[in-house]
A and B are shown apart, each in its own frame.
Chain A
Amino acid sequence: MDRPGTVLLGHLRLYVLLLRAQMRSQGVYRVSFALDAVAAALITGLEYAAFALVLPRFGTLSGWTLGEVSLLYGLAELAFVLMDLIFGGFDAPNLSAHIRTGTFTTFLLRPAPLPVQVFGSDFALRRLTRVALATGILAYGVSQVAVAWTPGDVALLAGSILGMICFFGGLFVIGGTLTFWTVDSVEAMNVLTYGGRALISYPMDIYGAALRKTFTYVLPAAFLSYFPVLHILGRSLPDGLPGWAAFVSPVTGPLMLAAAFAFWTVGVRRYQGTGT
């Protein structure tokens, strides 16, 4: 019974159970749900549409065609919305609401692992329209670029998405943990999460050296999707970085996530210590 596999399976079953309960409750108000679902996709859809409609007047975005930008934009959006579905419970506004209303204390009292409960606490089904939209943008990008797709390229893109999910998920966990101390951290984390997503939705050479280098060497966001896409398009990496730097996304992301959960453990221990 105590084998790690059995334990993990038990956690997974609990997670699925929590998701199912939420999916049922979100299906109650059908019209409102449908409107919300469409509106969620509309926000991103119109932002992308505004760029796509304007680009023909200018030709390219510093040498990048619409198809090439769509590759970056679709990757970032797809990874971010999938991350949002999985890690939504850790997002600072959601978690701080749980702390304020006392549901978080209930989580601590239940005989189930805390992270599994938080993972299963905010599953916004309406975001599925955004997943569909992001997939569409990515598919458009894939079809428009002159690349002879190899299984390696596909694996590189999949790894890039996986890396981004872990990376931004890690940022959500850090932001959520910070709410144990202060609620003011919410906006600061938004700059990194939503700002980071916006940043890597476009080719990073447009930002100027200082900003690009900050998001390469300080916060390694450039490794997540910009470098993999550069590799697939057959372009060289900036600053004379070696070719393998395009392949570290599946490592960067999980490292960030591991660090985030280490911080989370410290935060939870402190939170219990206050006796709230």
Chain B
Amino acid sequence: MARLGFRRQFAYPQAALWGLLTNTFFGVLRIAILVALFGRRPQVAGYTVQDAITYTGITQLMIATLALFGWYDFMRAVHRGEVVTDLLRPHDLLAFWTAQDAGRAAGQFVLRGLPMLLLFTVAFGAKLPVGPVLTAVSLLLAWALSFAFRFLVNSAAFWSADAVGIGRFAWALWGLGCGFLMPLAFFPSWLQQILAWTPFPGMLNTPVEVWLGVKTGHAALVAVWTQAAWTVALFWLAQVVLARGLRRLEVAGG
């Protein structure tokens, strides 16, 4: 299933090329804003200018992998009734969708993420991960956590015929909460404290800070453990919500 999802991403190479161009253009604009904000300051909230550039590179390259601008695949399957066909398969439905999204994410990472990483490293001097292994683990958890969150949002389709609006809402909040719009460390402390109680930072901000070495040693391990704990919690919640949704579907289906 994952392999199929992976291969499917290569069906439209031209779209990927345009996507790369768009992402780079917006990346350049975002870098300009951050560099202008820094001015002559060597460091702000643990970030150097080079860190801020690298942050932009990482967030831009993860847009497609994490589907940061929105993901409605499962919602569509519920609305069209395809989810019933999926139920006939001999696998667990959540595992089936997880595998599919793992393939999709990996495909996007190879197709769009890696070229972007190369570009940002060569052209803008983005940093490579301080601790590659822990960064890779953190990135993987960020994907898993983002998928569980996306799946939960999509599950609204069981209860509402027009859950797209709920989705748009969720993606907008996600963009701010996960640190896509700005590094969370730059926000006022009250907002950082609120966000620390949500799973959002684990979906992007944590791997960024581990990558840059803003968090190292013990602090980095705690951050990654928090990601893991949230991942388990959200997957459990997704399983519960899915079971309820399917029961509702059966009732509605007669």
Contact = CB atoms under 8 A, between A and B. Distances in A.
B186 A57 contact: yes
Interface residues of A, number: 40
Nearest to B21: A191
6 contacts: A46-B176, A50-B182, A53-B187, A58-B39, A184-B15, A195-B29
A50 B33 CA distance: 12
Interface centre among A50, A55, A208, A211 (most CB of B within 10 A): A50
- Give the top 3 A-B pairs by smallest Cβ distance, nearest first: A35-B165, A187-B18, A39-B168
Contacts of B169: 35, 38-39, 42
A101 interface: no
Contacts of A188: 18, 21
Interface string B164-180: 11101100110110000
A206 B32 contact: yes
B165 A36 contact: yes
Contacts of A62: 36, 39
Contacts of A60: 39
A51 interface: yes
Contacts of A56: 188
B14 interface: yes
Interface centre among B22, B26, B33, B44 (most CB of A within 10 A): B33
Interface of B: 14-15, 18-19, 21-22, 25-26, 28-29, 32-33, 35-39, 41, 44-45, 162, 164-166, 168-169, 172-173, 175-176, 181-182, 186-188, 191
A207 interface: yes
Interface of A: 29, 31-36, 38-40, 42-43, 46-47, 49-51, 53-62, 184, 187-188, 190-191, 195, 198-199, 202, 206-208, 211
A39 B153 CA distance: 14
Given A58-B38, A195-B22, A198-B26, A39 B172 contact: yes
Nearest to A192: B25
Contacts of A34: 165
Given A58-B41, A191-B22, A49 B15 contact: no
B44 A36 contact: no
Given A46-B176, A190-B22, A206 B36 contact: yes
Contact of A206 (B26, B33, B41): B33
A208 B187 contact: no
Given A39-B168, A53-B191, A61 B21 contact: no
A61 B37 contact: yes
Contact of A32 (B35, B44, B162): B162
Contact of A46 (B28, B36, B173): B173
A153 B45 CA distance: 39
B186 A199 contact: no
A35 B166 contact: yes
A32 B36 contact: no
Contacts of B38: 58
A198 B175 CA distance: 16
A187 B172 contact: no
